[in-house]
Amino acid sequence: MAMHRAALVLLLALASADHPCDTEHGQHCPEDGPSTLGACLKKLDSLSEACAAWVGMHDACAEELKGYCAKACNDEPCGYANEAVACLTKWEKPENISPGCAASFPYEAPKVERVLSEKAKAKSAARKAARAKAAAQVRRMQAGENVDAESEKSSGPAAALPSGVQEAISTERTKDARRVEDEARRRIEALHKAIPEL
C-alpha cells in the first residue's frame, strides 16, 4: 500500500512539475544536471516522498536507463532527466524491463473500457466491414484487376443515393473518362505531327 501511495504521489508530481524532485533540485542542487543530480539528491537528509520514489526508481532502473533509454535521449544518459519515466514506461519494450525496475514505476490507474450498446456495436461492426471491403477492393485495383463497376454502385455512400442520382454520377464519370481519352489522343497526334518521320 505504501508503494502504491508513493507511486501515486510520484505520478501527481510528474504531472505538475518537470520531475518530482524539482523543489529539491532547485533549492539544493541548482547547478546539477542529469549526470550529477542523482549524487546530489542522495546526499540530502530529507527528500519528499515523491522525490524519494523517483530517486529509487532511477536506482532500480540504472541498467535500463543506460541501454535503450540512452539512445532515446540523444545518446546521453536518461537517468535523472525529465524523459526518464517516459522512456521506461512508454518508449522501452516491456520485455526489456527487469522486474525490480518495473516494480518501481509510478502507479497508473487501470484503463476503463467503454461499454457499448448493441446498436453502437452493430454500427461499429458495419463500419469495420465496409472498411475491410473497401481495402480489399483497393488492393485488387492496385494488383491490376478490373473491379466490377456494379460492386462500386452497390456499396458505400453512393448506394444510399436515389438511382437517378447514381446514374447521373455514372454518366459524368463516363464523360470524364472520354474527355481524358480524347485529350490523350490529341496530344499523341500533335506529337506525331511535330516529330518528322524517320
pLDDT in tens, the chain (198 residues): 455 444 444 443 444 346 778 888 888 888 888 778 888 888 888 888 888 888 888 888 888 888 777 776 776 767 777 778 888 888 888 888 888 888 887 655 455 677 788 888 888 888 898 888 888 888 888 787 776 654 544 555 555 556 666 676 677 778 888 888 888 888 888 887 777 665
Number of domain units in the chain: 3
Examine residue 78 and state whether it is found in any structural domain, yes or no.
yes
133 and 174 fall within a common domain: no
7 and 93 fall within a common domain: yes
Indicate the angle between helix axes 34-43 and 49-60, nearest 10 degrees: 120
Which triple of cell numbers denotes residue 78?
536518461
Residues in the chain, how many?
A: 198
CA–CA distance, 62 with 121 (Å, rounded to integer): 46
Examine residue 153 and state whether it is found in any structural domain, yes or no.
no
21 and 73 fall within a common domain: yes
- Residue 17 is part of which domain span? 2-103
84 and 130 fall within a common domain: no
pTM of the model: 0.44
Other CB atoms within 10 A of residue 29 CB: 19
Examine residue 110 and state whether it is found in any structural domain, yes or no.
no
Examine residue 155 and state whether it is found in any structural domain, yes or no.
no
